[in-house]
Structure 1
Amino acid sequence: MDTLLQARIFDTAEAPAADRLALWLEVVAQTPAPMRVRTAHADNFLARAEFLDLGPMRLVRYRYPSLDGIRTRKLIRRSDADYYVLALTLNGTGITDQDGQRGVCPPGDFTFFDCARPQEASHHADDGQAAASLVALIPYDALPLPHRRLRPLFSSRIPGGEGVGALLAGYLSRIIGHPEQYHAVDAERLGTVGLDLVTTLLGRHLVSEEAIPTEVRRRALLAQVQAYVRQHLGDATLAPGTIAGARHISVRSLHRLFEDEETTVAAYIRDERLARCRRDLADPALSDRSIQVIAARWGFRDKAHFSRVFRAAQGETPQEYRARHLEPARIVNSTASAVNLSRTY
């Protein structure tokens, strides 16, 4: 059986209040970006970190009290510093200073910095709330952009609310939020897609996108197209023309993009719609919804057409699929009801 992807979690709440800050600093010291920390919450530093390895890229979701930090040359020499950090502010306001540049990042925006250079940072949230961030730790050699070209981006504020920034923010948040939805063997591929989006995001803020390798641009464009398709599956008129127009590319280029994936645009749309239909048909909470309503929700307006497509893909009708998946749930519920009834008497 495949192993599911799983984050490693560290939570200072499991330790006595007096030990929490020291334990937190020990954990942070093992990352490529340890800092000297000042905080008004040293006597009870309630913090949590979730670590998830995705091939060469590591994701960390942090939650901690407001703090200020400084990364000195001495700390740099003690750590494996050949890393970049792309940090997404989730709550509070993050401020970073590096190489004479300052970035002020409200929730939803990114900042980018080099672990091998001195840095000052602060992250403060409103009273009574924790600061939170999502960090991607990226080795130098995993990012196919010239190091010297990236320097103007250090400590800059990079919008995460639109375009590639929004796509990347949603992608990373979805993975770290629900790693159990993925298999461990998928980690490398998930990391590769993430790196492609990071590369594209940074490349958009350089003088020229020509610094981005062609294959990286292709994979990043594919990820954007696939995200658009998933967001519009319920639109029965979804077609190559509308998708290409939304991404400002030609229909021919769109088809060529999917040829490299050994599928077609139409097949991808169909398979994604069928996946959503299978999920809803097997959901006991949706057992009162008709098959036609579920099919229409995901873009299948014609009942007969949906039945034919579903049977061709699954080898059984939608009714048979639903019955096979809901019957075990009915048995469990009936057994539970019988037990509860016997306890009543």
Structure 2
Amino acid sequence: MEMMLNRIILDTERVPAADRFGLWLDMLADSPAPLRVRTEHADDFVARADTIDLGRMRLVRYRYPSLDCVRSRKLIQRSDPDYYVLALTLAGTGTADQAGQRSECRPGDFTFYDCSRPHEVSHHGEHHGPAHPSSIVAFIPYDALPLPHRRLAALFAGRMPGNEGIGALLADYLIRITGHPEQYHAADAERLAGIGLDLVSMMLGRHLVSEDVVPTEVRRQALLAQVRSHIRQHLGDTTLSPQSIADAHHISVRSLHRLFEAEETTVAACIRDQRLERCRRDLADPALRDRPIQLIAGRWGFRDKAHFSRAFRAAHEETPQAYRVRHLEQARIVNTPASVINSQRTY
């Protein structure tokens, strides 16, 4: 059985109200950057932290009552890790203050700071109302980013939008990984971390104005991630092609093909393989057993029935119909109670 991503969930509602805030403080004390916390909800601190370890990067999805946090020089002396923090506000209004810079972040905004320098962070529900603020935080070791530390100081406690360009792609990545970690395997962790770190580097580099500070390979990986995301979002579009993808990203078709040279695949193969993967998923879905195979193929961009059958058989050495029958039968056996199966046996 495949191992899932390393994940730890802390939910204070699982303990009595009087113990909830203390449990939260214990969790923060074990984090890479402990904070001093002030809140008006210490008597009943209903909060949740979902931590996902990707190796080179740790992601935490938080939900908590309104609070104010300080990382003081004394705390830094006790624990002075070489970490950056990148935070995406999901709900509520956040403020960050570090190195003389202060910013206010609303849902969809990023902020960035250095754990080895004093800073203040606040996060409150809208209009200080009852709605819980929430955020996604990435703890990133210094050496995981290929950007000069002295240059990044200009971004500490700054606001960066997460609703456009690279910022939007990074926000989608963080929301997807932390929202559905059960969909990924432990074997995916290193690759997932690499994709995330490339996107972080690209976004930070863009906000440093000079793109020259971003290594060529980081720019290539970030563009590749954008292209792959575009393909996933347009699989059902029968006009999806290398030309349409290149046009959408303002590059030449030749540049697009060069982008895939190190990926051991081609643009066309990437489109075909993702379409076949979606078709496989639908063919094996018991809820879609009555949907004609041609409709499933058409939904994912295969216009011609014969072409789809050839492509499917070349990839899986069986016809779409045979694949569907085999997987639906397996699903039926798995979902049939053992008592029913035993009653159907002949002796």
Alignment partners' CA distance in 2, 1:190 and 1:152: 27
Q: TM-score, normalised by structure 1?
A: 0.95
Retained in 2: the 8 A contact 1:87–1:135? Answer: yes
Alpha-carbon displacement from aligned partner over 1:297-333 (angstroms, at most 9, x marks no partner): 1000111110110111011111111111112334566
Retained in 2: the 8 A contact 1:111–1:156? Answer: yes
- The residue that corresponds to 1:37 in the other structure is 37
Alignment partners' CA distance in 1, 2:95 and 2:339: 55
Give structure 2 stretches of 5+ with no counterpart: 342-347
Alpha-carbon displacement from aligned partner over 1:43-74 (angstroms, at most 9, x marks no partner): 01011111111121110111110101111100
Question: How far has the Cα of 1:285 moved from its partner?
Answer: 1.3
Question: How far has the Cα of 1:214 moved from its partner?
Answer: 1.0
Alignment partners' CA distance in 2, 1:314 and 1:83: 45
In the alignment, does 2:77 pair up with 1:77?
yes
- The residue that corresponds to 1:322 in the other structure is 324
Retained in 1: the 8 A contact 2:5–2:54? Answer: no
Retained in 2: the 8 A contact 1:7–1:176? Answer: no
In the alignment, does 2:84 pair up with 1:88?
no
Give the AA of the match of 1:174. Answer: R
Equivalent runs, 1:322-341 vs 2, <5 Å: 322-331=324-333
Alpha-carbon displacement from aligned partner over 1:115-159 (angstroms, at most 9, x marks no partner): 111111110114222111100000111111011111111111110
In the alignment, does 2:252 pair up with 1:268?
no
Give the AA of the match of 2:267. Answer: V
Alpha-carbon displacement from aligned partner over 1:57-111 (angstroms, at most 9, x marks no partner): 1101111101011111001111133110000011111111111111111111111
2:309 to 300, 307, 310: 307
Give the AA of the match of 1:16. Answer: P
Retained in 2: the 8 A contact 1:6–1:180? Answer: no
Alignment partners' CA distance in 2, 1:108 and 1:237: 31
Alignment partners' CA distance in 2, 1:175 and 1:248: 28
Alignment partners' CA distance in 1, 2:282 and 2:102: 47
- The residue that corresponds to 1:23 in the other structure is 23
Equivalent runs, 1:1-345 vs 2, <5 Å: 1-126=1-126, 127-331=129-333
Retained in 2: the 8 A contact 1:36–1:69? Answer: yes
Question: How far has the Cα of 1:4 moved from its partner?
Answer: 1.9
Matched length: 339
Question: How far has the Cα of 1:194 moved from its partner?
Answer: 0.4
- The residue that corresponds to 1:343 in the other structure is none
Question: How far has the Cα of 1:198 moved from its partner?
Answer: 0.2
Distance 1:336 1:292, change over 3 A: farther
Question: How far has the Cα of 1:288 moved from its partner?
Answer: 2.1
Give the AA of the match of 2:328. Answer: L
Alignment partners' CA distance in 2, 1:93 and 1:34: 21
Q: TM-score, normalised by structure 2?
A: 0.94
Alignment partners' CA distance in 2, 1:6 and 1:308: 40
Query: What SS is found at the alignment partner of 2:260?
Result: helix
Q: Percent identity?
A: 71
Question: How far has the Cα of 1:334 moved from its partner?
Answer: 6.5
Query: What SS is found at the alignment partner of 2:223?
Result: helix
Question: How far has the Cα of 1:338 moved from its partner?
Answer: 6.9
Alignment partners' CA distance in 2, 1:97 and 1:39: 18
Query: What SS is found at the alignment partner of 2:45?
Result: coil
Question: How far has the Cα of 1:337 moved from its partner?
Answer: 12
Query: What SS is found at the alignment partner of 2:43?
Result: coil
- The residue that corresponds to 1:342 in the other structure is none
Give the AA of the match of 2:115. Answer: C
Retained in 1: the 8 A contact 2:81–2:116? Answer: yes
Distance 1:330 1:186, change over 3 A: closer
Over the aligned positions, Cα root-mean-square deviation in angstroms equals 1.6
Query: What SS is found at the alignment partner of 2:122?
Result: strand
Query: What SS is found at the alignment partner of 1:280?
Result: helix
Query: What SS is found at the alignment partner of 1:122?
Result: strand
Alignment partners' CA distance in 2, 1:259 and 1:242: 19
Retained in 1: the 8 A contact 2:202–2:222? Answer: yes
Alignment partners' CA distance in 2, 1:255 and 1:154: 37
Retained in 2: the 8 A contact 1:82–1:139? Answer: yes
Retained in 2: the 8 A contact 1:59–1:134? Answer: yes
Query: What SS is found at the alignment partner of 1:138?
Result: strand
Give structure 1 stretches of 5+ with no counterpart: 340-345
Alignment partners' CA distance in 2, 1:143 and 1:165: 16
